[in-house]
């Protein structure tokens, strides 16, 4: 049956091809006698031909400069002006595309779809910020990301959010990157780019929803600093992993912390961790924590399995995002829609000469990919949840105020507020007036 | 002493994790690089797959759309009764606005010699709705067809029209051959139609 339909489809295809070829000869081109000169069909050059290599160089330069400003020069002002440049260049001039955040999907597609050739510049856009984060923390976020820059510039009255809210919200980026990879790997959609809130502002053009979302994020960002970066950005997951184990990271004070708490108040992102009182860290708490840590550690496989099971169960729902799956479901559920001349998708499918069996087979292949992907996605989310729960019971010795290496954007505000001056030699001579 | 030990252990773990992360990053990089090329890609419409559904006008992130109608003069019949210019059923062939198919009046009709007329697209006005393309393909040679204009297109990472294109006519093409102008580009080159 399938074979027969396939043959029929092929025949229809051939007929269409024949018609398409012959359509051109319906009216032969006239031979003009009046010396008419036929104009050429223009093919304008791409807007930004050959700028991609330059972009990679600029990205590298900006990140190197940002790293130097943060780690060596310790200049918040420098970082600020650099982020203004980033906003103007990568944002408004280059229209925010391509960005390292979106490049996650290109890399995923390149790994899963052999037919997709990723451009080497896109691959570098993906890798460079991560390599920098692995060595020097999230200096990309500080000054080289246009989305971060636009949000950083509108921080007016940041409010402090309690840690359990922040920790709960920090789960969202994991879901986002997981879904983005699942959708990119199955060739369904690039959701990161689709829901990029600021690209409409960078282009000063776009659907109302996109522009509205961007403005909403900016208004929210006046009070809850960098909302996209902290609650949604899927790339922040990867940058966070890298930065957590970074070799060098921004330090608040150039010499010794005097526990004045000024830095913690200056950080709009609540990314500075207070010292832990030795009194809290009694032997019994430590023992209790250790016990809980081990118990929750043993629970991790349960979370992984439960997550994988739950998300793979949702594969039917998730796979509907793929147009082929959606179309085949629609046609099975409502075959009468074949007569609906208004439905462009169905009409185009009927015209294409592809048989229903072919469509259903393709759809079921995609759906089974979603089932497998669902196990991985759910398992990953379970693992993240498990580790987050375990980390609740980590009570490290901490005597100074230090930035949380994973959450810190290395923006450098805290350095500006630290009253301790650059001090070589005698430490005891104490507080040097803050440079202002 | 105990503190030193703890810090040593932490540093050791950090170093190990850093090494592992670096290694996996390199792994991803190499695996993706296998499939990489120095070529840049742009979005383009295959005119032989296009079904003139009209979504190019409505679904581009830009307004008006970066998709424009182009005219492949090489295969144009220079018809007096142009299926792309006139609404169906028009008998008096003049340039009256009510007789034109194009909602943006973006097609200019110019007399060449009896009985031939030239049709020129004003891309400033064109909105990429494909009404003329449909008319020209149905009644004429199909010399009018849609193309993405790269001087306007912002080359989104994923084209928002491609996502909703019912016939999958929009795909990434190498930047060295960014257009599929009919005439130069034939159905044989177009994956499916020539199969």
pLDDT recorded at residue B91: 83
How far is A236 from A98, CA to CA, in rounded Å? 17
Token pair recorded at residue B41: 């890609």
Tell if the CB–CB gap between A351 and B51 is shorter than 8 Å. yes
Instruction: Give B114's contacts (C-beta < 8 A, 6+ positions apart).
Output: none
Residues B49 and B193: beta-carbon distance below 8 Å? yes
In the beta sheet, which residues pair with residue B36? Answer: A118
A265 against A24, higher pLDDT? A265
A340, with CB counted inside 10 A (0-12, 13-18, 19+), is exposed
Chain A touched by B137 (CB under 8 Å)? yes
Q: What is the pLDDT of residue B2?
A: 56
Residue B22, both tokens: 């670096």
Using an 8 Å CB-CB cutoff, list chain A residues near B17: 244-245
pLDDT for residue A21 is more than 60 = no
pLDDT at A27 over 90: no
Contact between B151 and A45 using a beta-carbon 8 Å cutoff = yes
The answer to whether the CB atoms of A25 and B141 lie below 8 A apart is yes
The answer, yes or no, to whether the previous bond of B115 is cis (omega within 30 of 0) is yes
For the segment A32-87, what is each residue's pLDDT rounded down to a tens digit?
888 888 888 888 888 776 788 899 999 999 999 999 999 999 999 999 999 999 99
Q: Please state the φ and ψ torsions of residue B62, each to the nearest 5 degrees.
A: -95, 150
- Mean pLDDT of the B107-121 span: 90
Q: Do A36 and B113 touch (CB under 8 A)?
A: yes
Q: Is the ipTM of this complex over 0.90?
A: no
The closest of A180, A56, A52 to A127, measured between CA atoms, is A56
DSSP class of residue A188 equals S
Which chain B residue lies closest to A241 (C-alpha atoms)?
Answer: B21
CA distance A5 to A355: 6
Nearest to A413 by CA among A274, A264, A273, A275: A264
Instruction: Kindly report the nearest CA distance between residue A125 and chain B, in angstroms.
Output: 11
Question: Can you spell out the DSSP letters for A208-277?
Answer: HHHHHHHHHHHHHHHHSSSHIIIII-THHHHHHHHHHT-SS---S-SS------HHHHH-TT--EEPPPP
Cβ within 8 Å, pair A30-B160: no
CA distance B19 to chain A (A): 9
Which CA distances in Å does A182 have to A80, A240, A319, A375, B36? Answer: 36, 20, 10, 11, 21
Q: Is the pLDDT of residue A436 over 70?
A: no
Q: How far apart are the C-alpha atoms of A227 and B124, rounded to whole Å?
A: 39
Distance between CA atoms of residues A153 and B142, nearest Å: 52
Segment A204-221, tens digit of pLDDT? 888 888 899 999 999 999
Q: What residues contact A119, with CB distance under 8 A and at least 6 apart?
A: A52, A106, B36, B37, B38, B39, B40, B41
A97 touches chain B (CB under 8 A): yes
Q: What is the pLDDT of residue B113?
A: 86
The pLDDT tens digits for B54-92 are: 999 999 988 899 999 999 998 888 989 999 999 988 888
**What is the rounded end-to-end Cα distance, in angstroms, of chain B?**
76
Of the candidates A156, A139, A157, the residue with the CA atom closest to the CA atom of residue A83: A139
Burial degree of A289 (CB within 10 A; 0-12, 13-18, 19+): middle
Tell me if chain B has a CB within 8 Å of the CB of A344: yes
Is B195 in contact with A13 (Cβ distance < 8 A)? yes
Sequence-separated (6 or more) residues with CB below 8 Å from residue A132 = A63, A67, A139, A140
- Partners of B134 on chain A (C-beta within 8 Å) are none
> CB-based contact (8 Å) between A111 and chain B?
yes
**Spatial separation of the C-alpha atoms in residues A362 and A146, rounded to whole Å:** 39
| pLDDT tens readout for residues A179-198 | 999 999 999 999 999 899 99
Q: Could you tell me which residue, A1 or A72, shows the higher pLDDT?
A: A72
Q: Which residues of A110-140 are buried (b: 16+ CB within 10 A; e: fewer)?
A: bbbeeebbbbbbbbbbbbbbbbbbbbbbbbb
Whether residue A158 is predicted with pLDDT greater than 80 in this model: the reply is yes
Nearest residue of chain A to residue B55 (CA atoms): A344
Distance CA B32, CA A108 (A): 8
Per-residue pLDDT tens over the stretch B162-178: 999 998 999 999 888 89
Q: Residues of A with CB below 8 A from B157's CB?
A: 97-98, 102-103, 105-106, 190, 193
Chain A, 241 to 280: residues with Cβ < 8 Å from chain B are: 241-242, 244-247
Q: Find, among A220, A178, A213, A181, the residue nearest to A199 by Cα.
A: A213
For residue B21, the chain A residue with the least C-alpha distance is: A242
- Partner-chain contact A118 B181, CB within 8 Å: no
Task: Give the H or E element holding residue B194.
Answer: none
- Any CB–CB contact under 8 A between B138 and chain A? no
Within B35-83, where are the H helices? 55-59
Q: Considering CB atoms only, which of B17, B116, B178 is closest to A46?
A: B178
Tell me how long chain A is. 436
Mean pLDDT, rounded, for A361-371: 95
Picking from B167, B157, B193, B166, the residue whose alpha carbon sits closest to that of residue A14 is B193
Interchain contact A401–B (C-beta under 8 A): no
User: Measured between CB atoms, does B75 come within 8 Å of chain A?
Assistant: yes
pLDDT, tens digit, 9 for 90 and up, residues B2-19: 566 767 888 899 999 999
Inter-chain CB proximity B155 and A46 less than 8 Å: yes
Cα–Cα distance, A202 to A384 (Å, whole number): 33
Residue B127 vs residues A46, A154, B148: alpha-carbon distances, Å:
19, 36, 11
| pLDDT number for residue B35 | 81
Do residues B149 and B123 make contact, with C-beta atoms less than 8 angstroms apart? yes
A206 and B61 in contact by Cβ < 8 A?
A: yes
- Residue B71: strand pairing partners: B144
- Per-residue DSSP letter, A338: G
Return the higher-pLDDT residue of B193 and A16: A16
- A378 vs B: CB within 8 A: no
H/E stretch holding A289: helix A283-313
Do B101 and B132 meet the contact criterion of CB atoms below 8 Å apart?
yes
Closest CA to B161 of B62, B41, B39: B62
pLDDT at B11: 87
CB neighbours of A332 closer than 8 A, spacing ≥ 6? A360
Number of residue pairs across A and B with CB atoms under 8 Å? 198
Q: Cα distance from A199 to chain B (closest Cα, Å)?
A: 10
A427 has a pLDDT exceeding 50:
no
Task: Give A298-340 pLDDT, tens digit per residue.
Answer: 999 999 999 999 999 999 999 999 999 999 999 999 999 988 8
State the smallest CA–CA distance between residue B91 and chain A in angstroms.
20
B 22-41 residues inside an 8 A Cβ radius of A:
22, 25, 28-29, 31-33, 35-41
pLDDT at position A363 is 95
Question: For B18-43, how does the pLDDT look when each residue is reduced to its tens digit (9 = 90+)?
Answer: 999 999 999 999 999 988 888 888 99
- Per-residue pLDDT, A25: 60
Taking CB atoms and an 8 Å limit, are A117 and B118 in contact across chains?
no
* pLDDT attached to residue A270: 93
A157 and B CB contact within 8 Å: no
Residue A198 touches chain B, beta carbons under 8 Å: no
Q: Are strands A272-273 and A402-403 parallel, antiparallel or unpaired?
A: antiparallel
Distances A92 to A122, A198, A380 between C-alpha atoms, Å:
19, 10, 36
Assess B7–A contact: CB distance below 8 Å, yes or no. Answer: no
Mean pLDDT to the nearest integer, A9-26: 51
Subunit contact B14:A245, Cβ cutoff 8 A: yes
Percent of chain B surpassing pLDDT 90: 54
Nearest residue of chain B to residue A46 (CA atoms): B150
Residue of chain B whose alpha carbon sits nearest to that of A118: B36
């Amino acid at each position: 049956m399938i074979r027969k339909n396939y043959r029929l489809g092929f025949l229809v295809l051939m007929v269409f091809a024949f018609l398409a070829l012959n359509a051109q000869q319906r009216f032969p081109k006239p031979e003009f006698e009046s010396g008419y000169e036929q104009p050429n069909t223009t093919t304008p050059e791409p807007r930004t031909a050959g700028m991609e290599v330059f972009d990679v160089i600029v990205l590298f330069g900006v990140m190197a400069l940002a790293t130097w400003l943060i780690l060596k020069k310790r200049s918040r002002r420098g970082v600020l002006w650099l982020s203004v440049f980033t906003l103007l260049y990568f944002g408004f001039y280059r229209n925010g595309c391509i960005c390292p955040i979106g490049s996650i999907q290109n890399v995923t597609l390149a790994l899963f779809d052999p037919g997709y050739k990723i451009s080497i510049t896109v691959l570098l856009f993906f890798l460079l910020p991560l390599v920098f984060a692995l060595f020097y923390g999230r200096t990309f976020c500080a000054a080289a990301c246009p989305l971060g820059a636009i949000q950083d510039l509108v921080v007016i009255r940041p409010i402090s959010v309690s840690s359990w809210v922040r920790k709960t919200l920090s789960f969202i980026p994991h879901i986002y990157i997981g879904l983005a990879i699942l959708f990119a790997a199955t060739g369904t959609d690039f959701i990161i780019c689709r829901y990029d809130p600021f690209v409409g502002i960078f282009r000063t053009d776009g659907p109302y929803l996109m522009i509205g979302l961007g403005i909403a994020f900016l208004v929210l960002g006046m009070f809850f600093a960098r909302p996209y970066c902290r609650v949604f950005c899927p790339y922040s997951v990867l940058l966070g992993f890298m930065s957590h184990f970074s070799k060098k990271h921004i330090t608040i004070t150039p010499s010794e912390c005097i526990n004045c708490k000024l830095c913690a108040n200056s950080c709009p992102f609540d990314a500075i961790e207070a010292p832990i009182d030795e009194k809290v860290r009694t032997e019994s708490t430590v023992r209790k924590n250790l016990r809980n840590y081990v118990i929750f550690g043993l629970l991790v496989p349960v979370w992984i399995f439960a997550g994988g099971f739950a998300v793979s169960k949702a594969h039917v729902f998730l796979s509907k995002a793929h147009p082929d799956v959606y179309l085949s479901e629609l046609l099975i559920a409502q075959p009468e829609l074949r007569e609906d001349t208004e439905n462009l998708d169905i009409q185009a499918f009927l015209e294409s000469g592809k048989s229903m069996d072919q469509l259903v087979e393709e759809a079921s292949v995609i759906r089974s990919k979603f089932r497998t992907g669902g196990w991985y996605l759910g398992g990953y989310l379970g693992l993240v949840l498990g580790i987050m729960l375990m980390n609740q019971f980590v009570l490290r010795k901490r005597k100074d105020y230090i930035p949380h290496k994973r959450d810190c954007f290395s923006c450098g505000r805290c350095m500006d507020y630290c009253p301790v001056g650059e001090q070589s030699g005698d430490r005891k001579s104490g507080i040097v007036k803050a440079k202002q | 002493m105990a503190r030193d030990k703890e810090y040593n252990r932490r540093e050791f773990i950090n170093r190990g994790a850093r090494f592992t992360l670096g290694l996996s990053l390199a792994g991803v990089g190499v695996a993706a690089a296998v499939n990489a090329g120095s070529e840049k890609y742009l979005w383009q419409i295959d005119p032989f797959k296009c079904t003139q559904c009209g979504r190019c006008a409505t679904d581009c992130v830009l307004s008006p759309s970066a998709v424009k109608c182009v005219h492949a003069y090489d295969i144009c019949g220079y018809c007096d009764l142009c299926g792309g210019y006139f609404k169906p059923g028009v008998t008096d062939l003049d340039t009256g606005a009510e007789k034109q198919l194009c909602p943006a009046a973006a097609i200019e009709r110019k007399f060449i010699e009896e009985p031939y007329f030239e049709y020129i697209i004003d891309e400033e006005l064109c909105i990429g709705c494909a009404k003329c393309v449909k008319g020209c393909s149905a009644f004429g040679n199909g010399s009018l067809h849609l193309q993405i204009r790269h001087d306007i297109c912002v080359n989104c990472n994923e084209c928002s029209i491609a996502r909703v294109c019912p016939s999958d006519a929009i795909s990434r093409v190498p930047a060295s051959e960014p257009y599929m102008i009919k005439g130069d580009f034939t159905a044989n080159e177009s994956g499916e139609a020539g199969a």
